[in-house]
Structure 1
Amino acid sequence: MTNEAAPYGTPETPRVAVRGEARLEVDPEIARIGVTVSARGKDRRAALEDLTGRNGQVLDLIKSYGDAVEKLETGAFSISPELTSHGRSERVRAYHGRVRVTAVIADFTVLGELVTRLADLDLTHVDGPWWALRPDSPAHADARRQAVLEAVQRAREYAGALGADLAALVELADIGAESPVAYRGAQPPGAARAGAAGAPAPALDLEPQRQTVYAQVNARFTMTPPKL
């Protein structure tokens, strides 16, 4: 004989299985922007030197915002030839360089100014912002707690409908809590082709997009015998 409880309960200790869910709308904590720096030269060396200079200008500008920038990373880099037909053969007409930089901004008060200044640089394309929560955001824990509380309340209501009370928790299973990693702003900045001389471009007014945090749990309880 075994001491294992019956998997679906007994008339003396019936079980109730419920699902608890929670969906929270919270303000974002960070914003990601992508910056693509381009360059062109008649030969490979000239393209590399131009790209190095423009990339350094972009990095220096982003770093000048200090602690407002939470993370700065360089991604893809490429140098490729532009071919042109010359009789029956092809010749290299020029070389094109490109490098991708990603920045995570924690201070939204400087975000509009930063993206405008970046977009005002020559041969620089800005994407974003993409709003997000940090992986360790308290909002995730809040959603999980609310999902558990809803599961308990739902189970108590089912038991109460039968004239019974909850007796014990048998199982609590986390079936996922997630938040969209990033949301695109309503109107991301575009590419800057020619830097304007004189006064700097006005800062964009960017409204952070609220994030949805979702949590879900399955719970099983035993309850007292119902009064049928």
Structure 2
Amino acid sequence: MISDDTLSSMLKQAKMLYEDKAKSDIKEALSNYTDLSPKPKYHVFPDNSRRNALCLSGTIPVTYRGSKYHIPIALYLTENHPYSPPYTYVTPTSNMKIKVSEHVNDEGRIFLPYLNEWRFPAYDTVGLLGVLTFAFQEKCPVFQVKTPGASQPPTSSSNPPYPTGSSSRTPYPIGQPSFPTPSDPPYPTPNSDTGYRAPYQPYANVPAPPPAVPPPPQHSYASSIRASLITAIEE
């Protein structure tokens, strides 16, 4: 677990305006999703602005059709965090491709109602990660690229093709291909679903909050997670 001093230094590099609340939110996310790690990064945002952000990158565990996978993601937290939603992306490795859908565009950017409806403290980073987990269980955002001469990955449910947390702490696949190829179930093929329709307006920075901020609830975000996911699936 990252130390408070190290995290505080990173928040200062990212020029976070609400350091205490940002630190609390980030620490809770890291304690629940241990394959993510923070790092200040210079990022080009969708409006072509360029500035420092705090990036949480790594993988989140997803159970898809009976097998456990680790999906690579990156969350870019802006200076208004946690009052503004993170810019959220799928970050495929070299042997993966993005599966474009209504929730993920061809650049890997993720669009979900939870991001558009973001209102801290009812919405937070650990809640967002939960929403992503549920969404990816319904529709996987990446698929394996089939390379010439590559052997077929195992398909037995007792030997999932992607490394699980019990095997090592390495969050990304190593060795043989880890995701099924587009023609090999259980992962979807590139043409199995409709293309990206971008049903949601791009979320923008939320205005700075008033000085007095109500205390966060005793983590009732589970209902928000499921409600947001249901909305996303229905749309």
- TM-score normalised per structure 1: 0.29
Structure with higher Rg: it is: 1
Q: Which has the higher strand share?
A: 1
- TM-score normalised per structure 2: 0.29
Using CA pairs below 8 Å that are at least 6 residues apart, which structure has the higher relative contact order? 1
